[in-house]
Amino acid sequence: MVHVYNCHPFASQHIVSAEQEPGLVCCGGGALFVVSAGGCKIEAYALQREGCPLICRFSSMGSVLSLHHSAVGDYLVTIEEKNKATYLRAYTNWRYQAAEKTRVGVRLLGHLLRGSSFRGAPKEQMEIIEIPLFEPPLCMACCSLTGDLLVGCAKSLVVFSLKRQTLSEQLSVLDFERVLILHIQGWSPSQVAFCAGYIALQTELEVLVVKLTPRQKSSPAAEEHALLPEDIMTETSVNEDAEMTKDGFSPLHAQDDFFLFPKHQEMLGNEAQECGVSLVLEWTGMEAESRGDMSAAYVLFRRFAPDFFQGCSVEETRLHSLQLHPMFTGKPEEASISKGGEPTCMFVFFSLPNTGYMYSLKNTVELVSTYQYPEKTHQAVLSDQFLYIITRNALQCFTVRCSAVAARVDDPYIDTTMKACPPITMEVCALRIQLFIGLKVLCQDGNQIVLLTAADVDSKEDTERTARRNTSRKTSVCKPTEPADSGHGWNLYVITSVSTLQLYREIVEYSKRYEQSSPSSQSCVHLLSEGHLLLRTALLLQDCESAERAQLQQAFQESCAHLGDRFSRFDKKDCHLALPYYKMSGLTVTDVIKRNMSMSSVSTGYGKGFIFFLKHSLYEETMEELSKDMADKVLEIFSVAEPAQLPHVVSSPSMLNADPDRAVTHLRQLEACGTPSITPSLCMASLALRKCDLHSYRQQMDRHAEMLQVYGFIEEPKLLLHGRGKSVLPTILSQHLHDTQEGLLVAAVVALHENSKIRLEEADLFFQELCKDGVEAESSPQLLVDFWEALLVASSHESIVQELLFRLTSVYIDRITRRDHSGVKALKTAEDLINSCSHYGMLYPWVSILTPVQFNITHDHQEDLHKLQSLLCGPTLEVSFILPLLEQLSDSDRTGLSVHVLCATKLGQHETSIDRLLDRCPQAIISYANHELQNDKLSLWWQKLFPEVCDRIRTAGNDNTVLLSALKETLVVAAKELNPLEFLDLLPDDGTANFFLPHLLECSQ
């Protein structure tokens, strides 16, 4: 369905004073080209200048059948006929004829590039380049981004690359090189389009779009196969294709007197390979090697089945107006194919007489818009902002969805709570139907539209009827009038489009009339969305000046505000769009509240969209702090619209100026309507602290157990902290809990982390900020360490566990090394952690010998040491991660020695640990050996420990009872594990026999 409105996209029109009746018309590069009806005279007019004055006039070499202008290179390419032969020619430097320089050079394609016949000083002259072809040309198209030329023939498509040859510092000439031939089987294109590697071709009822892409490298066999078409056609299929008639349908049987029309078919993306049209690429240019191996990737195929039930003939069902349209969204300096950039979007448009189709080709191939025309069309032109079509007696302007597609390709935040854009599927509309008499040709360049009319002077009745209709309709432009000379019935009109800002303002006024007549009508939102897309398109254009862009940006924010108002006012299914549109408008929350207060009231009710916006703004904590009056108004709004949200609203940092008494009143009303809840009680406790009413605070906190209060904090984290990211601020309630109930505070933050309400880094910032002014103001305050220890008990995420283990180990080592402490008692002792957390292990017996409980250090450091030792005795800590931390901890005393030996043992360095213990604490060696030297380490008893003890006894003498006791224990183990011969080999030569004899006897048993 197409909506029809009566806006005025056309600002003015005037008639071009052409001397002869035009046969062909085209425009581009700010110029209008008119080919006389005879076909051999070309006139160029300046479109951008008032009155469209004549630029120049020159003759063609033959009768022009078709012509096209390329903005890149500023050349004209024509298909001409002379002596019943068809030629392809390009006219370059045609503007030199404006200076009445009559010199014209004629040369073959590539003559200057390949030959050296050019002699003498370069001359400024118009040049006609003959472009030879193996087949007669049928159609042609120029790439709007590179200036390359595509020519369609009966059995092939030929691509010519645009070249620029420098002859001197002042002069350069254009030339072409044939670089590619695409051989087509079974098709004869009636129209082609070419842009950025995309090639579109159409017959009377079929459209095919392919893209030239680099071919993936494959095996030699596959490469040999790739030289053939992907779908190898048999002789039978080729012959059947050869029988295809020009109208796109084939006979069912030779003896039958009827035709079988092909069924309607649409193939998107890779499916289009099965369309039956075979393309074979043949690279012919000098740069074929530099381009690499290329292939034609199928993008789109569509076949239409003609419908004759409406009285249409075969000729009236033909496709027309094939066009490829690119759109850039990047920086102007990057939006160029020559600089390596690619269009953000690529669209293809084609049209049947009564229906037009626009597809998006990049990323996902999809049908964007379908245009239903009120009557048969002759021609259509797609631009960035509009689709223009002409019927027999009307110029119509339709809206397009190019910018809606480009916005979604370019911006990942579109269609989120941050940004919005009208949907691609939104129905198109006709902004204007402008009446003319006998429309024949339509072309467009920038904001100029050129129309060729040729009235049928014999049909006087039709002319008068059309004139009466034209007079009765209101219009903002001059009425088309026939020239005073009644000798001819044709005219060339140049119509100028209005500026985007002017048309947008008219659309806004138009939408207000719809709003007044039918407040619940969708037409108001539809019109505002159309205006929004017009502004978005204008902002995407690359030639916007800074002053104009600022005005467009201001209007764009205004359109976002209008759309936000519309979506906020009604209870529609898409009312949530009020949030992103208001965000894009640049309005503050206070401004939005005032706009909606003027439209509604508490008694009449607010729209769901406004409540949705207000609720999310309060939750996201990005809005400004509301004044007292505005905050009280928000409380009043939610108390009526969504009372259940009051605890979350009261807790928002934007509501700090709200009246506490009024907030408590609303919360009590909420509790009175249902069962008492935890969160409202916590909110009222927080409000009591804001009023310094400790009695009311205690009453509210005593209503629920601490575990239930933790659940309340999970439901509303803003009761404890405000902000996210780099700035996390404690609330007045969390500061009070820090002074009175640290355990509850730590448990609540742990619960927030485990429920993904706060990240670990944000919790660190929270505790740092909470403790920055206390006696524990240090890099790792005790409350933060308590949080890490509690989170280590609760967390099951491996990455979080390893991070916490590293942090806690660092803190323990730092405190043991510095030997100073803030004096703040930890919430959990080492014994508590060992009993409640699997990551803390029981201390090994030999560790307790090294550092007994009565060790001569303070109690705080004894706890830190035991926690560190317990982590090292546990199963989780990776010792290799904390080795750099051990550099600051000396092993000169038993505190450091115990940690170093624990780490060395966990790394498998048992021999080093034995040496350290024998040197520093031999009384712990047997306990160490009994615990550590087991299983595969059992041999160290006699291979390492026994020789080391014997050596030290020799050095120290036999009066060292500790070493002697260790030797006996070692011999007991050796006697149990070794046979007599092995035990005898183990004994030292200078040993005393009566000392070893009992162990030898035990061994022999």
pLDDT digits (tens, 9 = 90+) for 900-926: 999 999 998 999 999 899 888 888 989
Query: Same structural domain for residues 192 and 299?
Result: yes
The residue-averaged pLDDT of 958-987 equals 79
- Residue where one domain finishes, among candidates 271, 303, 335: 303
Contact 727, 661 (CB under 8 A): no
Pairing of strands 172-185, 156-166: antiparallel
Contact 507, 500 (CB under 8 A): no
Q: Hey, what are 964's tokens?
A: 């002697």
Count of the separate structural domains present in the chain: 4
Instruction: Report if residue 394 sits inside a domain.
Output: yes
Q: Report whether pLDDT(486) > 60.
A: no
Report pLDDT digits (tens) over 846-897.
998 888 865 555 566 788 899 999 999 999 998 888 888 888 888 888 888 9
Q: Hey, what are 84's tokens?
A: 């019943």
Distance, CA of 152 to CA of 813 (rounded, Å) = 80
Q: Exposed e or buried b for every residue in 890-926, given b needs 16+ CB within 10 A? A: ebeebbbbbbbbbbbbbeeebeebbebbbeebbebbb
> Comparing 37 with 127, which gets the higher pLDDT?
127
Cross-strand partners of 387: 382, 398
Distance, CA of 731 to CA of 683 (rounded, Å) = 12
Distance, CA of 679 to CA of 712 (rounded, Å) = 5
Q: In the structure, what pLDDT confidence band is assigned to residue 369 with cuts at 50, 70 and 90?
A: very high
Query: Same structural domain for residues 349 and 451?
Result: yes
pLDDT reported for residue 241:
43
State which residues form the domain around 527.
Answer: 499-601
Burial (0-12, 13-18, 19+ Cβ within 10 Å), 308: exposed
Instruction: Report if residue 378 sits inside a domain.
Output: yes
Contact 77, 66 (CB under 8 A): no
Distance, CA of 494 to CA of 480 (rounded, Å) = 11
The residue-averaged pLDDT of 636-649 equals 91
Report pLDDT digits (tens) over 36-53.
877 788 889 998 888 888
Q: How many CB atoms lie within 10 A of CB 460?
A: 10
Query: Same structural domain for residues 470 and 535?
Result: no
Question: Could you report how far apart the first and last alpha carbons of the chain are, in Å?
Answer: 105
pLDDT reported for residue 338:
45
Which positions ≥6 away from 616 have C-beta within 8 Å?
Answer: 417, 579
Q: Widest CA span of the chain, in angstroms?
A: 146
Query: Same structural domain for residues 159 and 96?
Result: yes
Instruction: Report if residue 724 sits inside a domain.
Output: no
Query: What's the sign of the alpha-carbon dihedral 336, 338, 340, 345?
Result: positive
Residue with tokens 């409202």: 680
For the chain, percent of residues with pLDDT exceeding 90: 40
Contact 171, 193 (CB under 8 A): no
The residue-averaged pLDDT of 622-651 equals 90
pLDDT reported for residue 254:
41
Q: In the structure, what pLDDT confidence band is assigned to residue 772 with cuts at 50, 70 and 90?
A: confident
Query: Same structural domain for residues 361 and 448?
Result: yes
Instruction: Report if residue 291 sits inside a domain.
Output: yes
Query: Same structural domain for residues 368 and 427?
Result: yes
Distance, CA of 154 to CA of 134 (rounded, Å) = 10
Which positions ≥6 away from 518 have C-beta within 8 Å?
Answer: 524
Q: In the structure, what pLDDT confidence band is assigned to residue 83 with cuts at 50, 70 and 90?
A: confident
Distance, CA of 716 to CA of 130 (rounded, Å) = 78
Instruction: Report if residue 847 sits inside a domain.
Output: no
Instruction: Report if residue 195 sits inside a domain.
Output: yes
H/E stretch holding 454 reads strand 448-454
Q: In the structure, what pLDDT confidence band is assigned to residue 238 with cuts at 50, 70 and 90?
A: very low
Instruction: Report if residue 822 sits inside a domain.
Output: no
Query: Same structural domain for residues 283 and 431?
Result: no
Distance, CA of 382 to CA of 358 (rounded, Å) = 9
Instruction: Report if residue 347 sits inside a domain.
Output: yes
